Structure 1
Amino acid sequence: MPDPGPSPLQSSLPAAAARFGAHVLATAQAAGAESVADALPVPSVAPAPPVSSVLPSGPSLPFVPASAPAPAAGAAPVPQQEVPAAVRQPGPALARILRGPSGLGTESLHWGRTVEPAAPPQPGGAPAPGHPIPGLYHHPVPEPDPVRVEEVSRRIKAWALDEVELYPEDWEDQFDGFHVGRYMVACHPDAPTVDHLMLATRLMVAENAVDDCYCEDHGGSPIGLGGRLLLAHTALDPLHTTKEYQPEWADSLQSDAPRRAYRSAMEYFVRQASPSQADRYRHDMARLHMGYLAEAAWAQTDYVPEVWEYLAMRQFNNFRPCPTITDSVGGYELPADLHARPEMQRVIALAGNATTIVNDLYSYTKELASPGHHLNLPVVLAEREGISDQEAYLKAVEVHNDLMHDFEAEAAALAAACPVPSVLRFLRGVAVWVDGNHYWHQTNTYRYSLPDFW
């Protein structure tokens, strides 16, 4: 089946498009930018043109290597001092920056960050299957391109079965029920080709194989987890040892499905990504593995952490490796010095934390039905704060909403302080990953159902 290429462009005419240029121009100039012409569109009349300088459209999007020039001339650098608190609330223009371009021909580049009030709690049992959690702050997204979904689903299953022998036949329904193709297309609508989407898809499937087979209900155990994770991590971060022992390590990468998946997915990734992007991913995977180990240690000692301790663990055992590669999947690079900025790191951390609490909430009933004592935020809140299961679940919704509001405020402040095209695009890429992650959890009724707390 041929590569279907980018999603077809459609038209979109938000009512605020005519006013957007003036808002953004004023905001960027206030942040100290000498010129915003190369960073953001400033339409004089509606409809606005595509944002070619921020998010190129067309049949191909060239990859920007690590050696490419960093911020454009005239763009304001990220200031060293902390952004004043008064700037942290996103105004209409900054919220629009995060939502992405508008106007004729930009629908496929717009990720549906429409600001809608959270759904009010409804009495009479759980929401219908596929409905969002009542009261959860989120942004609806367009349905992912079905052509791309089909092709990514076909390719990832062929990779899992033929290249890495990831799972036995009796796991096929679970693999299909994961709907990873729909997940990744929803999270990365700006990927220039299906090949770029496959970078994220292989890594996502490999990460889940490690979690299932090492930590969870497909043979996982907290006992000995550290050794297994360390050896698996060498499939991402290669071992540099003597010639005598190198062959034994190389052979070990084929010894089980998780290591085969890690090795293969990483080989594909490093061929497309820059060295800086690959090292960034390795770092975030080390964070993930450390979070796995903390949770395993608590399981071995039957320890229920304090709420703040649980949230600290979840900052490491979370989705962070996925949105942090949004530029690799998009076919460009956020320069390493801009990615490493404390302000950017805070935005990425908040995004990872919010999306992980989404997982806690949607998987709540699934985990309660599984053997053993599963820690998630509602469970920890109930046990540590002495409240009912319903109260704990609804409080976890509030925690998620606070994280989301902080994420959006911090992202808006950074966008105002540093209106560099790669920064703006990366921030929007992380924002749409957050939205796509919620969409997948909400719609994956094969895996998830909601409690009857409303």
Structure 2
Amino acid sequence: MPDPGPSPLRSSLPGPPARIGAPGHARGGDAAAVEARPAPPSVPALPSVPAPPSVPAPPSVPALPSVPVLHRTPAPTPTAPTPTAPAPRPALERILGGPSGLGTAGLHPARRPARPALPEPEGAAAVPAAAGGRPVPGLYHHPVPEPDPVRVAEVSRRIKRWAVDEVQAYPPEWEDQFDGFSVGRYMVACHPDAPSVEHLMIATRLMVAENVVDDCYCEDHGGSPVGLGGRLLLAHTALDPLHTTREYQPAWAESLLADPARRSYGSAMGYFLQAATPAQADRYRHDMARLHLGYLAEAAWTQTEYTPEVWEYLSMRQFNNFRPCPTITDTVGGYELPADLHALPAMQRVIALAGNATTLANDLYSYTKELKAPGKHMNLPVVIAEKEGISDKEGYLKAVEVHNELMHAFEAESAALATAVPDPRVLRFLKGVAAWVDGNHYWHMSNTYRYSLPDFW
């Protein structure tokens, strides 16, 4: 299979980046005053993170710590280059710029404008160097440049401080696993258009919170399919708050401190709401409900020892997948894809294909890791091999083909949407989703602390 070339989406996007509105924050680019949008509606007050388990939680319910409010400037309509010959698909060319995938030479990383360097943080957390790794042979993907090491270091430092000090997301004995996850490098790679570290932290907190819920409720660290529905529903109220009577509201608010999962969800969502519009917040809640539904389907199959048909497994994976992460790419980028454009069936198909393809990449890279775990762990290669009566190697290689077909569909549908709806906000969002797809693959490929490939070649 020919190399699809470097990631096409590491270029500057239309318009100046959104700026942090807090006084004294360093600003780049145009120094014109930016009108702050109204603050989002107030969030139900949460208690501060409780003391260690031996100390009872305080009875009062103080508000969350204040979070810097992120302000936006509308993205101006970019001026399209004048073609030297008739171009029947100008919107498509703005994204593609070449024959292989969602952009090539016209958006080559080498043409990305230099970003002002961040100051080296004091006492920055040690960041594992990119190990390089190797891609799954035959897997269709776009290579990406190494993420900015200064940003990686600063995001890594801040997220560890948040996880340890603000929400007590993990005990000391999990520290090596937290560091090995390399979430700073992950998020910097996935969001190359983020205007600042503050914007990157929005995605990083939510990513860590989602993984805390997965680990503590579902899998690695005490998770179980038994009773999962009740735990997920109560955790979901940290994202989509309970509206109840005065008598019962304090008990609910105190419950948000009950475990690392709910503390992480509540805090991460509080920061997100300071940056997101109401429509963006509602979109994220909807996608998290999808995720939780997927968790429950997989848990039900585990409890009943049911191995789904391949199409059934793929249905579950459309819900239990990465979709909540790329769907917030506009919030992290400091702009908004309006709700009517986000709701277009063609846009929903693009987002679904992106989530499906990236999640199957996770199935392929985590295959060896999951085989070493106790019990039977369902992933696409395992399900294909069992249901179609073929060898483990054949099942794995067919899963690669499924991933590749979804990737090609994602790119084709993105190009078609860019042609049909040449709105600059749509084009920018499509670029952001594609950048997230590429960054997600980069992280899986390079994270040799967590993943290794099977010996099938």
TM (normalized to structure 2)?
Answer: 0.77
Match of 1:59 among 3, 28, 43: 28
Residue in 2 that maps onto 1:396: 399
Q: Mark the CA change 1:382 to 1:53 in structure 2 (over 3 Å): closer, same or farther.
A: same
Residue in 2 that maps onto 1:444: 447
Shift of 1:96: 2.4
CA distance in 2, matches of 1:314, 1:133: 20
SS at match of 1:254: coil
Alpha-carbon contact 1:64-1:332 (below 8 Å) kept: no
Matched, 1:423 2:426: yes
CA distance in 2, matches of 1:290, 1:370: 23
CA distance in 2, matches of 1:303, 1:406: 30
Residue in 2 that maps onto 1:197: 200
Residue in 2 that maps onto 1:261: 264
Q: Name the stretch that deviates more: 196-205 or 57-66.
A: 57-66
Match of 1:174 among 166, 174, 177: 177
Shift of 1:51: 5.7
Shift of 1:341: 0.5
Consecutive unaligned residues of structure 2, counting only runs of 5 or more, are: 20-26, 41-71, 80-87, 116-130
Residue in 2 that maps onto 1:156: 159
CA distance in 1, matches of 2:216, 2:12: 45
Residue in 2 that maps onto 1:332: 335
Equivalent positions of 1:143-292 (< 5 A) are 143-292=146-295
Matched, 1:309 2:309: no
CA distance in 1, matches of 2:300, 2:451: 27
Alpha-carbon contact 1:307-1:377 (below 8 Å) kept: yes
Residue in 2 that maps onto 1:95: 96
Matched AA of 2:269? M
Matched AA of 2:175? E
SS at match of 1:218: coil
Alpha-carbon contact 1:54-1:422 (below 8 Å) kept: no
Matched AA of 1:191? A
CA distance in 2, matches of 1:294, 1:318: 12
Alpha-carbon contact 1:50-1:102 (below 8 Å) kept: no
Shift of 1:419: 1.2
Shift of 1:301: 0.3
Alpha-carbon contact 1:72-1:420 (below 8 Å) kept: no
Shift of 1:217: 1.7
Consecutive unaligned residues of structure 1, counting only runs of 5 or more, are: 1-13, 18-48, 76-86, 110-127
Q: Mark the CA change 1:314 to 1:104 in structure 2 (over 3 Å): closer, same or farther.
A: closer
Alpha-carbon contact 2:327-2:351 (below 8 Å) kept: yes
Shift of 1:107: 4.4
Matched AA of 1:130? G
CA distance in 1, matches of 2:155, 2:441: 19
CA distance in 2, matches of 1:402, 1:213: 33
SS at match of 2:96: helix
- Percentage of identical aligned residues: 71
Matched, 1:411 2:414: yes
TM (normalized to structure 1)?
Answer: 0.78
Matched AA of 1:365? T
Alpha-carbon contact 1:108-1:189 (below 8 Å) kept: no
CA distance in 1, matches of 2:444, 2:108: 27
1:127-164: per-residue Cα shift (whole Å, max 9, x none)?
Answer: x9700010000000000000000000000000000000
CA distance in 2, matches of 1:74, 1:60: 17
CA distance in 1, matches of 2:15, 2:186: 27
SS at match of 1:96: coil
Matched AA of 1:294? A
